[in-house]
């Protein structure tokens, strides 16, 4: 029987796409390149187009894109332009349109959910995440896969499209225990704000540890870089004195808030501090982390390759990359073969037992 599984890996996800392709070959015991070549080009005024370079007739297609990749450029009017999430999302829609009515099924793997932080609105704000999901639903996507959505309930915006939200917790913890086994005692998991509390509780449940939280009091009378600035961190939880701390969050952008949490934890007598984040965006603030590391405010950051991380960050002594490509390959293979994804959603059970044994 012909193997009709194929990947369309957009420019934004080439590095992780290559690893996924290798894992698929191991899983499926094959020796082939599942990737279909795609050319994303631009006219001189910045308008784009996508061209599929070979037939995709009756293919079971999986489109992979990293909308957070700010390391890709294009020329417009003789100047280099950095691609934005909006432009990556536009290329996704172009790709889906190019394969419509040719492939037997099209699924989209978008590890970093487009506009995930604008998942709800107040007053006259736009509702970008829901609108983006509805656009791809209307284009005919059957399965949508993402990781650590800022608010998973945004799936309610697309009731006719299968929406699967996975968490890389087990992968991050495996790497953390592999590298820091001696420090995985007297643990306390901390949420840097109230919004991260559910995620922190999940980590704490995996580790059998207590959990605490910081409350961010903001000056709602001002807006700086799109947000009301934080004026105070108030801690809610058990004593940190002498504890090894794991601070967990979904993403790090500038890092100012999480560094302030590490500073507050050190004031309270915390021992080693590890920061675990699904997405390390580092759109700014790298110098801030350098300085915080020199100040011994934290031991290391553990984050995934689910979105773009600059090479200069990967080379930092304080950064540890967690490869998540195998999990994506398993998800793609399960969807292709029509298997339940429940075992992958609950993939932490084995890890949980292993971590208990290590402790």
Residues of the chain with CATH 3.40.50.2020: 5-166+324-340, 169-323
3-class SS of residue 114? coil
Go through 29-68 and write b for each residue having 16 or more CB atoms within 10 A of its CB, e for each that does not.
eeeeebbbebebeeeeeeeeebebeeebeebbbbbbbbbb
pLDDT score, position 129? 94
pLDDT score, position 137? 96
Per residue of the chain (359 residues), what is the pLDDT tens digit? 568 999 999 999 999 999 999 999 999 999 999 999 999 988 888 889 999 999 999 999 999 999 999 999 988 888 888 999 999 999 999 999 999 889 999 999 999 999 988 888 888 888 899 999 999 999 999 999 999 998 889 999 999 999 999 999 889 998 998 899 888 889 999 999 888 888 898 888 888 889 999 887 776 677 766 666 666 778 888 899 999 999 999 999 888 889 999 999 999 999 999 999 999 998 887 899 999 999 999 999 999 999 999 999 999 999 999 999 999 999 999 999 999 998 888 666 556 556 656 55
Domain 5-166+324-340 has CATH 3.40.50.2020: yes
Q: Write down the pTM of the prediction.
A: 0.90
Task: Specify the CATH number for 169-323; select among 3.40.50.720, 3.40.50.2020, 3.30.360.10, 3.90.120.10.
Answer: 3.40.50.2020
| Backbone dihedral angles phi then psi of residue 255, each to the nearest 5 degrees | 85, -5
CA 20 to chain centre: 16
What is d(CA 163, CA 109) in angstroms, rounded to the nearest whole number? 10
pLDDT score, position 76? 85
What is d(CA 84, CA 72) in angstroms, rounded to the nearest whole number? 9
């Amino acid at each position: 029987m012909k193997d009709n599984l194929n990947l369309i890996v957009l420019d934004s996800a080439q590095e992780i796409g290559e690893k996924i392709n290798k894992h698929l070959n191991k899983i499926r015991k094959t020796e082939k390149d599942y990737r279909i070549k795609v050319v994303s080009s631009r006219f001189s005024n910045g308008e784009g187009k996508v061209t599929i370079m070979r037939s995709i007739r009756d293919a079971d297609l999986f489109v992979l894109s990293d909308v957070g990749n700010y390391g890709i450029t294009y020329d417009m009017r003789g100047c280099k332009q950095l691609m934005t999430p909006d432009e990556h999302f536009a290329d996704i829609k172009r790709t889906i349109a190019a394969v419509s009515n040719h492939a037997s099924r099209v699924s989209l793997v978008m590890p970093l959910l487009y506009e995930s932080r604008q998942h709800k609105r107040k007053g006259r704000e736009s509702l970008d995440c829901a609108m983006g999901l509805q656009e791809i639903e209307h284009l005919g996507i059957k399965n949508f896969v993402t990781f650590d959505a800022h608010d998973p309930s945004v799936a309610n915006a697309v009731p006719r499209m299968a929406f699967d939200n996975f968490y890389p917790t087990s992968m991050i913890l495996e790497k953390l225990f592999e590298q820091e086994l001696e420090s995985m005692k007297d643990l306390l998991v901390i949420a840097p704000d109230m919004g991260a509390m559910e995620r922190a509780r999940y980590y704490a449940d995996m580790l059998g540890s207590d959990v605490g939280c910081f409350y961010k009091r903001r000056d709602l009378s001002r807006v700086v870089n799109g947000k009301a600035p934080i004026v105070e961190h108030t801690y809610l939880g058990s004593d940190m004195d002498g504890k090894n701390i794991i601070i967990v969050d979904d993403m790090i952008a500038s890092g100012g808030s999480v560094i302030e949490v590490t500073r507050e934890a050190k004031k309270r007598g915390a021992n080693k501090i590890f920061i675990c984040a699904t997405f390390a965006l580092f759109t700014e603030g790298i110098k801030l982390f350098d300085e915080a590391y020199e100040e011994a405010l934290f031991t290391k950051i553990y984050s995934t390759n689910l979105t773009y991380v600059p090479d200069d960050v990967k080379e930092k002594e304080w950064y540890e990359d967690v490869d998540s490509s195998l999990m994506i390959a398993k998800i793609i293979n399960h969807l292709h073969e029509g298997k339940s994804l429940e075992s992958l959603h609950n993939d932490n059970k084995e890890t949980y037992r292993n971590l208990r044994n290590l402790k």
